[in-house]
Chains A and B, each alone.
Chain A
Amino acid sequence: MAALEQPVTAQRMTFGWLGVVYISLIALLILSCFLALTVGPVSLSFEQMWAAVMGTGSRGTDTILFDIRAPRMVLGLAVGASLAISGASLQGLLRNPLADPGLIGITAGASLAVVFVIVLGDAVLDGLPAWMLSAILPTAAFAGGIAVTIVVLTTARIGETFSTARLILVGVAITAIAGAAIGLMVYISTDQQLRELTFWTMGSLAKSNWGTVLIACIAMCLASAALLRFQHVLDLFQLGERAALHAGVNVSRVKFQICALVAVAVGAGVSVAGPIGFIGLVAPHMTRLLVRASHAVVLPISALVGANLLLFADLFVRNIVPPSEIPIGIATSVLGGPFFLWLLMRTKKI
């Protein structure tokens, strides 16, 4: 048993410790929100921000704060938190520490739909009014993500049962097929289209305006809140699917419900921010370093960790070479990849 090499005399995580973790993460989140609003190519002082909030700020400050940075911050919070909750739920559901929302094909589906629209849509979309054009890519991303998830879920289903290994394998296959199609689209695209594609293959919070952000955030919040209600069921899943059934869980139905909720949460996020990798994988793992394994704790703490990670990553990409931005997916991978390797070196259990 690997566990014996590294005796986990489980530290007693009392309420006191949990309280410290909650308070620190919330404090950190307030700090990152504050930085997200004030730091940027145009720095705002606390006084300027206060004036803007009180309605006495200059027009320029108002625009930067309310129309550019505030929606971006809200989007960052919602995407980070919902990716983390989705990742933690999938890891719990599939009892696989490597599970990630990308695994069930949803990210690939969303990207594929968007790439199709960008590269092949010109002829059809030319005549449409501007407001419709701005809504068409998010809609395509959302629809593509959900459609691929439905394909994956129905293919992975045999009769009434719903095999986990099959779910992962179908997800891998669909992701590979979508990857090939995206590659082909990229190959035939023009230079201008290629630029647009970068956003949709690496993710960014830059395209946030209140209209799309609010719709997406409502979907993400509702799906994430619904996932939180599965905490006890996810704990039971750690005993294996048979034992979960013996404990009264309707195993197939729950698997379908959780995957569908993850599809909605992640699909809504991808539709406005593109596919942002690693948050769904890394945030739950960081959480489990801090607190015990019960999902009643892991899910909400993961959400806080994920929101923090994404806001700090966004702060990083906005300010490293201003005024240009590198895609946030690069930042999350640069930060997340090494962290994940460190995590793997540290634990001998996987």
Chain B
Amino acid sequence: MITGTGITLTLGGKTILQDVHMTLDAGEILAVCGPNGAGKSSLLSVLAGEHASCASQVAYDGALLNTLSPAEQATRRVVLEQSPTLSAEFCVSELVELGAPLELALSDLVRIKAMLLDAFGLAHCEQEAVSALSGGQRHRAHLARVLMQLKANTTLGHRCALFLDEPTASLDIAHQISVLKHAKQLADSGIAVLIVLHDLNLAAAFADRVLMLKDGRAHSDGAPQDVLTNTALSDVYETPIFVQPSASGQLVIQPAL
């Protein structure tokens, strides 16, 4: 379990996050939502250990971040950035292998890599240069790299969380759903999953819990149907927003025109 206690982040004299308390449990998907500039990605980077000034405000299974080395942190959480980059001419297969820690046995690496390439529809372009892929394929290749690290960690016996920063932003709707279904499967297998998500409908459909941020503070935290309400959303986004359960019981969020 990951806990954030009074997370306060100040960068260049500007307060980005103020006194945010949150938890992330094993086996759940927590969606972090909120308007642009609310501090969603900053919260993720604090939890991922990127800000030394906040390292005493975050604990992984009771161990404070400032007591864990970068290598130890890498066994406890994996992160997919919003816009992953790659400067060298690696092929898809090499990119995915980058996720594997050196301790992983070669047979495990080969097995996990084949499984991931297959799951993300990349098996046919395994030997292609990453720079030659389409934007969506490239993003899925990076996701496969991050999940390689995750699966390697669980194979090596570490309890590891998954952080995804806007994983659906550059994908078409079919791939958005497929990525979130994959996250759901991982959560069902006991992984703690944190997703920064702009799309409230996807959050409503896939998240077990929603943390709504506004101006660097936690506005509300709870089950989707409790957090994603007409009044709360209209307040957070300062725009009239209308929420209605569909026939199947799923929440549908749309602007009230």
Q: What is the interface of chain A, defined by CB distance below 8 A to chain B?
A: 1, 3-4, 7-10, 12, 92, 95, 160, 232, 235-236, 238-240, 242-243, 245-251, 288, 292-294, 349
User: In the bound complex, how far is the Cα of B70 from the Cα of A293, in angstroms?
Assistant: 25
User: In the bound complex, how far is the Cα of B89 from the Cα of A349, in angstroms?
Assistant: 11
Give the distance to chain B from A14, nearest Cβ to Cβ, in Å: 10
User: In the bound complex, how far is the Cα of B89 from the Cα of A7, in angstroms?
Assistant: 12
Residues of A within 8 A of B49 (CB): 245
Q: In the complex, which of the residues B69, B128, B149 contacts A247, with contact meaning CB atoms closer than 8 Å?
A: B149
Give the distance to chain A from B51, nearest Cβ to Cβ, in Å: 10
- Pair B132/A293 contact, Cβ less than 8 Å: no
- Pair A235/B98 contact, Cβ less than 8 Å: yes
A248-B101 contact in complex given A3-B132, A12-B127, A292-B94, C-beta closer than 8 Å: yes
A240 closest partner in B (C-beta): B85
- Pair B70/A249 contact, Cβ less than 8 Å: yes
Q: In the complex, which of the residues B101, B129, B149 contacts A3, with contact meaning CB atoms closer than 8 Å?
A: B129
A288-B89 contact in complex given A8-B131, A9-B132, A249-B70, C-beta closer than 8 Å: yes
Q: Which of B76-135 contact A (CB under 8 A)?
A: 77-79, 81, 84-91, 94, 98-99, 101-102, 127-129, 131-132
User: In the bound complex, how far is the Cα of B99 from the Cα of A250, in angstroms?
Assistant: 16
- Pair B89/A10 contact, Cβ less than 8 Å: yes
User: In the bound complex, how far is the Cα of B131 from the Cα of A1, in angstroms?
Assistant: 8
- Pair A292/B89 contact, Cβ less than 8 Å: yes
A247-B99 contact in complex given A10-B89, A240-B85, C-beta closer than 8 Å: yes
A8-B88 contact in complex given A160-B52, A248-B71, A248-B73, C-beta closer than 8 Å: no
Residues of B within 8 A of A245 (CB): 49-50, 70
- Pair A8/B89 contact, Cβ less than 8 Å: yes
Q: In the complex, which of the residues B70, B90, B132 contacts A4, with contact meaning CB atoms closer than 8 Å?
A: B132
Residues of A within 8 A of B90 (CB): 235, 238, 292-294
Residues of A within 8 A of B129 (CB): 3, 8-10
B3 CB within 8 Å of chain A: no
Give the distance to chain B from A73, nearest Cβ to Cβ, in Å: 33
- Pair A246/B127 contact, Cβ less than 8 Å: no
User: In the bound complex, how far is the Cα of B73 from the Cα of A239, in angstroms?
Assistant: 18
User: In the bound complex, how far is the Cα of B86 from the Cα of A95, in angstroms?
Assistant: 9
User: In the bound complex, how far is the Cα of B98 from the Cα of A95, in angstroms?
Assistant: 16
User: In the bound complex, how far is the Cα of B4 from the Cα of A160, in angstroms?
Assistant: 23
Residues of A within 8 A of B87 (CB): 95, 238, 240
B57 CB within 8 Å of chain A: no
B75 CB within 8 Å of chain A: yes
A238-B74 contact in complex given A232-B102, A247-B149, C-beta closer than 8 Å: no
A96 closest partner in B (C-beta): B87
B79 closest partner in A (C-beta): A246
Residues of B within 8 A of A251 (CB): 70
Q: In the complex, which of the residues B70, B128, B131 contacts A248, with contact meaning CB atoms closer than 8 Å?
A: B70
Q: Can you list 29 A-B pairs, Cβ within 8 angstroms, ordered by A?
A: A1-B131, A3-B131, A4-B132, A9-B128, A9-B132, A10-B128, A95-B87, A160-B52, A238-B86, A238-B88, A240-B81, A240-B87, A242-B45, A242-B50, A242-B79, A246-B48, A246-B78, A246-B81, A247-B74, A248-B70, A248-B75, A248-B101, A250-B70, A288-B89, A292-B89, A292-B90, A292-B94, A294-B88, A294-B90
Residues of A within 8 A of B86 (CB): 238-239
Residues of B within 8 A of A10 (CB): 89, 91, 127-129, 132
- Pair B132/A8 contact, Cβ less than 8 Å: yes
Which of A160, A246, A247, A288: most chain B CB closer than 10 A?
A246
Q: In the complex, which of the residues A1, A239, A250 contacts B98, with contact meaning CB atoms closer than 8 Å?
A: A239
A243-B81 contact in complex given A160-B52, A293-B90, C-beta closer than 8 Å: yes
A160 closest partner in B (C-beta): B52
- Pair A246/B102 contact, Cβ less than 8 Å: no
User: In the bound complex, how far is the Cα of B73 from the Cα of A347, in angstroms?
Assistant: 39
Which of A92, A235, A239, A242: most chain B CB closer than 10 A?
A239
User: In the bound complex, how far is the Cα of B71 from the Cα of A97, in angstroms?
Assistant: 28
Give the distance to chain B from A29, nearest Cβ to Cβ, in Å: 26
- Pair B50/A293 contact, Cβ less than 8 Å: no
Residues of B within 8 A of A242 (CB): 45, 50, 79, 81
A7-B94 contact in complex given A240-B85, A250-B70, A288-B89, C-beta closer than 8 Å: no
User: In the bound complex, how far is the Cα of B72 from the Cα of A244, in angstroms?
Assistant: 13
Q: Which of B144-196 contact A (CB under 8 A)?
A: 149
User: In the bound complex, how far is the Cα of B11 from the Cα of A105, in angstroms?
Assistant: 31
Give the distance to chain A from B60, nearest Cβ to Cβ, in Å: 14
User: In the bound complex, how far is the Cα of B59 from the Cα of A74, in angstroms?
Assistant: 54
B146 closest partner in A (C-beta): A246
User: In the bound complex, how far is the Cα of B49 from the Cα of A246, in angstroms?
Assistant: 8
User: In the bound complex, how far is the Cα of B87 from the Cα of A235, in angstroms?
Assistant: 10
User: In the bound complex, how far is the Cα of B73 from the Cα of A324, in angstroms?
Assistant: 60
User: In the bound complex, how far is the Cα of B213 from the Cα of A130, in angstroms?
Assistant: 74
User: In the bound complex, how far is the Cα of B132 from the Cα of A62, in angstroms?
Assistant: 57
- Pair A239/B70 contact, Cβ less than 8 Å: no
- Which 7 residue pairs are nearest across A and B when measured between Cβ atoms? A248-B74, A3-B131, A293-B88, A238-B88, A95-B87, A10-B129, A248-B71
Residues of A within 8 A of B91 (CB): 10, 292
User: In the bound complex, how far is the Cα of B169 from the Cα of A276, in angstroms?
Assistant: 48
User: In the bound complex, how far is the Cα of B139 from the Cα of A160, in angstroms?
Assistant: 31
Which of B48, B50, B132: most chain A CB closer than 10 A?
B132
